[in-house]
Amino acid sequence: MTGRDSPVGVSDRPESAGGDLRGDAFLRALHAEHVAVVGASADPTKLGHQTLRNLLEGGFQGTLYPINPKAEEILGIRCYPTIDAVPSDLDLAVIVIPASAVPEVVGQAGRKGAAACVVLSGGFRESGAQDLEEALVRAARANRTLVVGPNVQGLAYVPNRLSALMYPYFKTPGPLAIVGQSGSVTAAIGEWAEREGLGISALVNLGNKADVDEADVICWLANDAATRTMALYLEGVCDGRRFVKAAASAAATKPIVVLKAGSSAAGQRAVASHTASLAGSDAVFSAACRQFGLARAADMTELYDLAKGFALVTPPKGRRLLVISSSGGTGALAVDEASRLGLEPALLPSGYVRAIKKLGLSPRTSYANPLDIDSLEAEEFAACAALAVKHNVADTILFGLGDPVPGTPAMVRRFVDDHGLSTVVTYLGGGAIELAEAPQLHAAGIACYPSPERALRALATVVDHQRWLEEVNVSQ
């Protein structure tokens, strides 16, 4: 975790006197109003064309300046031959040109006032061109601009409708920030959030981390009002001490889920060939995550699931769980997984059982936990849940929908608004209704998962993080 992962040593990283000037610059880039796309192309097959188009299709409301000396306009926007020809100062430059030309253009962007340059171009340290990457960093620091990258897919900030990426673009605002070295991994997580209606606040692809690294972005996004939690994909860590300090500080208010590649020897070799990162000791990294409150994911799916849980699940006061289900199988799987994870399937008090029996539920109802009500009526789920609150049965309720239950999003939202209890939903076999209603649940701030196991792993992680917070507060 202490490997030197940047061509410019961490001791050379500029520090701000009297405030975080680099952080201010990064935030100005996210809120950019004037953006240059250097290498914009009229050819739809070129990355420069795709990047400009994504900014447009993402709904960016600021001013775009395509830079191309051979074109008068692209996608209906006037082109400029160089950055120097742009008629205003810049906030952000997105660069997709041959690597050899990038240091000079970064210097031009800095002199034009750009707070940051997002360098999509590859062909630097990951390809053995260490000297070229060092020249890039020198140009950036000499002209007081940040570099995100190089060798990245881009960055996005949805509150500003900014999708400065080769692909895709993002339009759904949400509580999740995604930060990672791999463009494909970060983009995939973002697309899952977009498709499921969860949405994202920010996406930052770090690439080679020649200048801006994971510790920087964690610190800066910790102060972002639109971000509730962070999903972090790493291949190596520039400076273990800085990373731990940044993550531990942020995790108290913005939980962080980490997926780290390079846990095996083969994975370490793959990481080294991708971004020339030093993967470091996996055991040391895991220990640091446990100590400083970071949740570690085993794979991409879990990275997304756990981050979704942190973003949407209200931390419960305890570990007691009640499963209300329309499917015996769904409920059985849920209590098995809950028990395995250290959650406590609640025993149903006799008073609660007598109360729900008065609801006139199906004669096939199983009055245990899981509470299998054999119903497709959302209001019967709501009535059982409300009585559970009245009788103090559980700290969290899992609605396990083994069949389509129309009207679930509105029902769950009303229940949470009325009672404030930690609530999670899982669909299993919901078909078209699931596809329609899961995004509605996420838009309403309710976490929904396609299986009870995935839902409960997320819930258990939220519970464990809450316990870590309590232990930290006690020790202080």
Same domain for 167 and 143: yes
How is residue 166 written in tokens? 């080769």
Q: How many domains does the chain have?
A: 2
- Structure letter (DSSP) for residue 175: E
Please say whether the beta carbons of 403 and 430 come within 8 A.
Answer: yes
The answer to whether residue 114 is domain-embedded is yes
pTM attached to this predicted model? 0.92
Please say whether the beta carbons of 374 and 365 come within 8 A.
Answer: yes
Same domain for 305 and 420: no
The answer to whether residue 296 is domain-embedded is yes
**Residue count of the chain:** 476
The residues of the chain scoring below 70 in pLDDT are 1-19, 262-280, 430, 474-476
How is residue 276 written in tokens? 């020339």
- Structure letter (DSSP) for residue 387: H
Same domain for 145 and 275: yes
Same domain for 372 and 228: no
403/428 Cα distance (integer angstroms) = 7
Phi/psi at 42 (nearest 5 deg)? -80, -10
Same domain for 77 and 162: yes
Structural domain for 383, as ranges? 314-473
Same domain for 209 and 259: yes
Q: What is the DSSP string of 206-241?
A: -TT-SS--HHHHHHHHTT-TT-SEEEEEES--S-HH
231/243 Cα distance (integer angstroms) = 15
Domain's final residue, options 256, 278, 310: 310
The answer to whether residue 107 is domain-embedded is yes
Same domain for 372 and 282: no
122/6 Cα distance (integer angstroms) = 16
Q: Is 128 left (phi over 0), alpha (psi -120 to 50) or beta?
A: left
- The predicted pLDDT at position 239 comes to 87
Residue 86's identity, in one-letter code, is V
The answer to whether residue 60 is domain-embedded is yes
Nearest to 102, CA basis, from 69, 132, 64, 67: 132
The answer to whether residue 325 is domain-embedded is yes
255/464 Cα distance (integer angstroms) = 11
- Looking at residue 112, which CATH number applies to its domain? 3.40.50.261
461/466 Cα distance (integer angstroms) = 9
Residue 65's H or E segment, with its range, is: strand 63-67
Q: Is 406 left (phi over 0), alpha (psi -120 to 50) or beta?
A: beta
Q: Is 120 helix (H, G, I), strand (E, B) or coil?
A: coil
Nearest to 56, CA basis, from 163, 187, 188: 163
Tens-place pLDDT, residues 298-346? 999 999 999 999 999 999 999 999 999 988 888 999 999 999 999 999 9
Q: What is the DSSP string of 257-314?
A: EEEE---SHHHHHHHHHHH------HHHHHHHHHHTTPEEPSSHHHHHHHHHHHHHPP
The answer to whether residue 2 is domain-embedded is no
Same domain for 370 and 231: no
Same domain for 401 and 270: no
Tell how far CA 244 is from the center of its chain.
19
Tell how far CA 36 is from the center of its chain.
26
- The predicted pLDDT at position 476 comes to 61
84/7 Cα distance (integer angstroms) = 28
Same domain for 229 and 356: no
Domain's final residue, options 310, 329, 349: 310
The answer to whether residue 1 is domain-embedded is no
- Structure letter (DSSP) for residue 172: -
Domain's final residue, options 258, 286, 310: 310
Same domain for 209 and 128: yes
Same domain for 323 and 279: no
- The predicted pLDDT at position 280 comes to 60
Count of CB atoms situated within 10 Å of the CB of 198: 26
- The predicted pLDDT at position 433 comes to 81
Phi/psi at 139 (nearest 5 deg)? -65, -40
Q: Tell me how many degrees the CA angle 185-190-191 measures, rounded to the nearest 5.
A: 100
183/105 Cα distance (integer angstroms) = 22
The answer to whether residue 234 is domain-embedded is yes
